[in-house]
């Protein structure tokens, strides 16, 4: 009966073939490791965010007068409202933690190299959308930090020469940040950006399945196939890969629930304490800091303290910050190495990748604390080392001595 119903559908829509191609029979390299779990977990977090977001939406009020109070209402009066809100705030941090791990995996194993350039670029778009989602969502509770973060970030557009001020007014929809601004950020956060994110993630997975997964050795698993044309060094996603993914989901949810139930503000990192105060446009908080996942870029913004060629320091900082996010997209064309994985790349690649990680963390710290002259110098130094990883890559990846790459994947 079931087979009959299924074949009725399959004759009209390739359901079984699609499920087999993109899910159950997808050939996953046998040497995938723990770094390959983040992609699946990102999809889990996306679902958590969509569900908790829709629930929050049922009681949230997107007006300057009512937003802050509606969050208090959700926290205190709505049944399990506190849980839904903490789920959403924890989910936001988890999303970024996972996306950084996911991107770093790609950088380690050269997953952006041919033929996965487009897959990488599409992935980068998801990151960009996530940054916008994070920012627009952060403003919605209309607390002190929401308001002033919006003020700082939006004013950056005002620093653009010639038309900055007009652009800023157009973006805000008002001459200062107001309920109108809140309302449009709300529209972006709940409709346009999630929709775009879902579409781009869908295309990301399609692109992945077109070229196939890379692996920690960075070798082409399609080179050696069995008599049925199945690559020898792969296994079907179901059941061999999904068991790992589901196990990872279990472990991840334990951590997630721990934060959600016992440590929801994450020491001020998941929810900033200043945001427990309602927005007040007459009182600037002592230190305006963004969420932890933007702090490396915030440190870059503040690192530029001098005007140059008639351009203001603020505008130059904005450019450097934007470049810090944008430069990832150029990686496939900056890397000239004949080898994909860091396992077989030369000593310079290893050095610069380590330097990148150190720079990212130090900048992350510097962006989360108040700036002092010495911290500004440190931020300038680590901004340079951050960019050195990317900008010197065409040289060091081309001329360094790499180790021989095996023909087939290795298993430890
Ligand atoms: C919400 C955002 C994202 C989701 C849901 C997502 C999902 C996935 C999934 C499920 C996989 C296959 C499993 C795995 O290899 O981990 C994957 C692979 C991949 N993703 Fe993403 N991804 C996202 C963002 C990104 C970003 C920001 C980048 C890079 C800038 C990226 C680059 C890649 C690459 C290169 C692969 C193939 C890796 C390999 O085979 O070694 N993804 N992604």
Q: Which tens digit of pLDDT belongs to each residue from 302-317? A: 999 999 999 999 999 9
Q: What's the pLDDT tens digit per position in 105-115?
A: 999 999 999 99
Distance 223 CA to ligand 1 centre (A): 23
Task: State the closest ligand 1 atom to the C-alpha of 125, by its place in the atom list counted from 1.
Answer: 27
In which region does residue 110 sit, left (phi positive, over 0), alpha (psi from -120 to 50) or beta (all else)?
left
Distance 120 CA to ligand 1 centre (A): 8
Same domain, 147 and 252: yes
Same domain, 137 and 260: yes
Per the structure block, which two tokens stand in for 114? 């041919």
Is 12 within a domain?
no
Same domain, 302 and 259: no
Segments of 229-288 assigned E as strands: 234-236
Confidence of residue 12 (pLDDT cuts 50, 70, 90): very high
Same domain, 163 and 226: yes
Residue 195: alpha-carbon gap to chain centroid: 16
What mean pLDDT is predicted for residues 275-297?
94
Is 11 within a domain?
no
What mean pLDDT is predicted for residues 329-343?
98
Nearest CA to ligand 1 atom 12: 39
Give the count of domains, the chain: 2
Torsion of CA 19, 208, 343, 339, to 10 degrees: 130
Residue 29: strand pairing partners: 234
Distance 38 CA to ligand 1 centre (A): 8
Distance 198 CA to ligand 1 centre (A): 13
pLDDT at 17 over 80: yes
Nearest CA to ligand 1 atom 6: 39
Task: State the closest ligand 1 atom to the C-alpha of 37, by its place in the atom list counted from 1.
Answer: 16
Same domain, 235 and 322: no
> How far is Cα 349 from Cα 345, in angstroms, rounded to an integer?
6
Distance 281 CA to ligand 1 centre (A): 40
Lowest mean pLDDT across 65-74, 282-291, 402-411: 282-291
Task: State the closest ligand 1 atom to the C-alpha of 329, by its place in the atom list counted from 1.
Answer: 30
Cβ neighbours around 377 below 10 Å, total: 12
Residue 157 belongs to a domain with what CATH number?
A: 1.20.810.10
Reference 332, options 24, 39, 118; nearest CA is 118
Please report, rounded to a whole number, the percentage of residues in the chain having pLDDT higher than 90.
98
Is 403 within a domain?
yes
> How far is Cα 201 from Cα 49, in angstroms, rounded to an integer?
14
- Ligand 1 pocket test, pick from 29, 94, 102, 249 with the greatest ligand atom count within 8 Å of Cβ, gives 102
Residue 254: alpha-carbon gap to chain centroid: 21
Domain extent at residue 180: 22-274
Same domain, 211 and 346: no
Same domain, 88 and 169: yes
Instruction: State the pTM of this model.
Output: 0.97
Q: Rounded mean pLDDT of the chain?
A: 97
Cβ neighbours around 47 below 10 Å, total: 10
Nearest CA to ligand 1 atom 25: 123
What mean pLDDT is predicted for residues 181-195?
98
> How far is Cα 316 from Cα 160, in angstroms, rounded to an integer?
9
Q: CB–CB of 352/389 below 8 Å?
A: yes
Rounded to a whole number, what is the distance in angstroms from the first to the last CA of the chain? 46
Please report, rounded to a whole number, the percentage of residues in the chain having pLDDT higher than 70.
100
What mean pLDDT is predicted for residues 352-370?
97
Q: Which residues contact 24 (CB under 8 A, 6 or more apart)?
A: 236, 237, 238
Looking at residue 286, its pLDDT comes to 86
Q: What's the pLDDT tens digit per position in 364-412?
A: 999 999 999 999 999 999 999 999 999 999 999 999 999 999 999 998 6
Is 282 within a domain?
no
Same domain, 225 and 269: yes
Is 3 within a domain?
no
Same domain, 209 and 318: no
Same domain, 193 and 327: no
Is 295 within a domain?
yes
Q: What's the pLDDT tens digit per position in 213-255?
A: 999 999 999 999 999 999 999 999 999 999 999 999 999 999 9
> How far is Cα 337 from Cα 218, in angstroms, rounded to an integer?
12
Residues with CB under 6 A from ligand 1: 36, 38-40, 42-43, 46, 99, 102-103, 106, 109, 111-112, 116, 119-120, 123-124, 126-127, 201, 204, 208, 213-214, 328
Q: CB–CB of 115/254 below 8 Å?
A: no
Same domain, 317 and 249: no
Same domain, 250 and 379: no
- Ligand 1 pocket test, pick from 23, 116, 127, 204 with the greatest ligand atom count within 8 Å of Cβ, gives 204
- Ligand 1 pocket test, pick from 106, 231, 329 with the greatest ligand atom count within 8 Å of Cβ, gives 106
The last residue of one of the domains, among 244, 274, 304, is: 274
Looking at residue 76, its pLDDT comes to 98
């Amino acid at each position: 009966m079931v087979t009959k119903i299924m074949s009725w559908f399959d004759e009209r829509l390739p359901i079984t073939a699609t499920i087999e191609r993109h899910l159950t029979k997808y050939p996953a390299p046998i040497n995938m490791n723990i770094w390959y779990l983040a992609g699946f977990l990102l999809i889990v977090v996306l679902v958590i965010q969509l569900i908790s977001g829709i629930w929050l939406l049922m009681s949230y009020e997107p007006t300057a007068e009512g937003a802050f109070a509606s969050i208090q209402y959700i926290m205190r009066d709505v049944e399990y409202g506190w849980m839904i809100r903490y789920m959403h705030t924890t989910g936001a941090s988890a999303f970024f933690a996972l996306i950084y791990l996911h991107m770093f995996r790609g950088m380690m194993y050269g997953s952006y190299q041919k033929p996965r350039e487009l897959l990488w670029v599409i992935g980068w778009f998801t990151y960009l959308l996530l940054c916008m989602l994070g920012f627009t969502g952060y403003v919605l509770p209309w607390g002190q930090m929401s308001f002033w973060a919006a003020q700082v970030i939006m004013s950056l557009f005002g620093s653009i020469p010639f038309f900055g001020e007009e652009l800023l007014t157009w973006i805000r929809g008002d001459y200062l940040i107001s309920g109108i601004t809140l309302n449009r950020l709300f529209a972006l956060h709940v409709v346009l950006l999630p929709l775009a994110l879902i579409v781009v993630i869908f295309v990301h997975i399609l692109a992945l399945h077109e070229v196939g997964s890379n692996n920690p050795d960075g070798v082409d698993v399609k080179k050696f196939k069995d008599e049925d044309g199945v690559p020898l060094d792969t296994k079907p996603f179901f059941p061999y890969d999904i068991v790992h993914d589901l196990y990872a989901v279990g472990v991840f949810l334990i951590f997630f629930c721990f934060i959600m139930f016992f440590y929801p503000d994450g020491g001020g990192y998941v929810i900033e304490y200043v945001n427990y105060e309602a927005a007040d446009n007459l009182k600037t908080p002592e230190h305006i800091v963004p969420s932890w996942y933007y702090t490396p870029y915030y440190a870059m913004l503040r690192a530029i303290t001098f005007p140059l060629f008639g351009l203001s320091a603020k505008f130059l900082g904005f450019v450097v910050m934007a470049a810090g996010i944008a430069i990832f997209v150029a990686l496939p064309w900056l890397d000239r190495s004949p080898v994909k994985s860091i396992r077989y790349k030369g000593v310079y690649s290893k050095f610069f990748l380590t330097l990148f990680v150190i720079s990212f963390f130090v900048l992350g710290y510097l962006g989360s604390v108040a700036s002092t002259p010495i911290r500004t110098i440190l931020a300038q130094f680590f901004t340079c080392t951050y960019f050195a990883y990317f900008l010197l890559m065409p040289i060091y990846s081309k001329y360094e001595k790499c180790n021989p790459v095996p023909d087939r994947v290795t298993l430890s």
